Amino acid sequence: MLRLSSSQADFAERLKALLAFETAQDPAVDAAVAAICDDVKARGDAALVEYTNRFDRTDAASMAGLTLSRDELEAAYHRLSANVREALEAAAARVRRYHEKQLMQSWSYEDEDGTLLGQQVTALDRVGIYVPGGKAAYPSSVLMNALPAKVAGVGEIIMVVPTPGGERNDLVLAAAYVAGVDKVFTVGGAQAVAALAYGTESVPQVDKITGPGNAYVAAAKRRVFGVVGIDMVAGPSEILVICDGETDPDWIAMDLFSQAEHDEIAQAILLCPSADYIAQVEASIEKLLPSMPRRAIIEASLGNRGALIEVMDLAEACAIANYIAPEHLELSVAEPDTWLPGLKHAGAIFMGRFTSESLGDYCAGPNHVLPTSRTARFASPLGVYDFQKRTSLIRVSHAGAQKLGQIASVLAHGEGLTAHARAAELRLDK
């Protein structure tokens, strides 16, 4: 695992190289996705069934064989063992409670002239949630995508999840049941994204599509952006741990593992002012690694993109964290609140030694869909606000039209837009 120190002369360049990640779009993928999207747009269900049978090795005769009702989601829920059902319900309740605080409210005010100005907040009518199939099918992602939409008051939530070889994941379907998903289609890939964006005979057209997927899904989302809304196209997952050297090193090693086990390009970085402590974490890594079922992935990830970085002090660690703008930031220090005001850029901050990232991933309450690849400089976690939108309200009074009309007239003439000026002037008293 790479060892760096902020005192190295070339530290800034080495840090930049460590973080570099090219998300170049593949023209071959783009072309394949364009063809699939156009075909689904033109032929609807027929194309969707064909692509699904081909790519997912299913043998559906029609969309009826690729559609799950609420009853079937409920049946999957009841097939789970009681402790799993309870964990799912407990996580959902906490996520729901947190997200309810994010609800935006409409507001308005009248100015001195009786002119009303405001902002009306409404929920989206219908959204689509993409859930990856196979090994990366995560029930927690179903909760994290569907619950904010539900809390926002979205009218209908449509989920798509591919079932390669026809294999359904009860945990995923149960999560959809708990989260209040209205309908599930067992389709995936670019064809599923196109069906949601354009609508087919069976799949209703949605207003926004959220959720992670492979390169084809990402390319399809970029392609339909504008026809529908999309969430961010996510990069590899990342954790940055700032530790004062007083946390059990096994805990920190395992926190780094829990990021690294996602995939070979995930990134796990530790910042610490103590070289001794860094050595202890390294020893914990060596000790704990052999017992990990996903050892090969963890090793590749830590080897490719991980780093243990010695810093001068915690203040410098925070400055570096602001530059990195990590998806997950663990503040494993004695007084985490002290450092908070100086931390500007991160998707989520996990404060104090007890707050492992994995608690936030599943059940603390906040969303686990977070900005990656330094986009926390300008982007936010997925939230209720992604499923609500605003409409400006203006109701100008007679008196207001006199005052505003004068201003608008001057500025519109300044821009050479005479009709704009005249529309304002017509409302002026003669």
361 known member of a binding site: yes
Beta carbon of residue 61, minimum distance to a copy of itself (angstroms, whole number): 30
Of 10, 110, 201, 337, which one interacts with a copy of itself (CB under 8 A)?
337
Give me 279's structure tokens: 């050595």
Residue 99 appears among annotated catalytic residues: no
Element (H, E) at 310: strand 307-310
Min CB(64)–a copy of itself separation in Å: 27
Question: How many residues bind to a copy of itself according to rule CB under 8 A?
Answer: 116
Cβ of 13: how many Cβ atoms within 10 Å? Answer: 10
Q: Is 415 exposed, middle or buried (0-12, 13-18, 19+ CB in 10 A)?
A: exposed
- Please report, as residue ranges, which positions from 151 to 190 form the binding site for a copy of itself (by CB under 8 A): 171
Other residues' Cβ atoms within 10 Å of the Cβ of residue 286: 11
- Smallest gap, in angstroms, from Cβ of residue 416 to a copy of itself? 7
Token pair in block for residue 326: 């990590």
C-alpha of 312 from chain center? 33
Q: Of 30-69, which residues contact a copy of itself (CB under 8 A)? A: none
- Kindly tell me which of 228 and 269 has the beta carbon lying closer to a copy of itself: 228
Nearer to a copy of itself among residue 188 and residue 371 (C-beta): 371
Spell out, one character per residue from 305 to 334, where the chain touches a copy of itself: x when CB under 8 A holds, - when not. Answer: ------------------------------
413 annotated ligand binder: no
Pick the closer one to a copy of itself by CB: 118 or 180.
118
Cα separation of 169 and 167, whole Å? 7
> Could you say which of 88, 146, 157, 176 contacts a copy of itself (CB under 8 A)?
88
> Is 327 one of the catalytic residues?
yes
Positions in 13-32 near a copy of itself (CB under 8 A):
23
Q: Which residues pair with 176 in a beta bridge?
A: none
Q: In angstroms, rounded to a whole number, what is the distance separating the alpha carbons of residues 29 and 190?
A: 10
Q: How far is 16 from 217, CA to CA, in rounded Å?
A: 29
Is there a binding annotation on residue 415?
yes
Select which of 328, 330, 345, 368 is catalytic.
328
Q: Which stretch binds a copy of itself (CB under 8 A): 42-50, 66-74, 160-168, 293-301?
A: 293-301
Applying CB under 8 A, which of residues 37, 124, 203, 266 lies at the interface with a copy of itself?
124
Reading the block at residue 361, the tokens are 């991933």
Interface with a copy of itself (CB under 8 A), residue from 248, 283, 296, 312 = 248
Closest CA to 280 of 246, 317, 314, 237: 246
- Give the burial class of 172: count Cβ atoms within 10 A of its Cβ; 0-12 exposed, 13-18 middle, 19 or more buried: buried
**Binding of residue 359 to a copy of itself (CB under 8 A):** yes
With contact defined as beta carbons under 8 Å apart, do 347 and 372 qualify? yes
Q: Where are the alpha helices (DSSP H) in 225-354?
A: 249-260, 275-288, 295-305, 314-324, 336-339
Report the nearest approach of a copy of itself to the CB of residue 56 (Å): 21
Among 250, 263, 264, 316, binds a copy of itself (CB under 8 A): 250
Q: Which residues are annotated as a binding site?
A: 130, 191, 214, 237, 259, 262, 328, 361, 415, 420
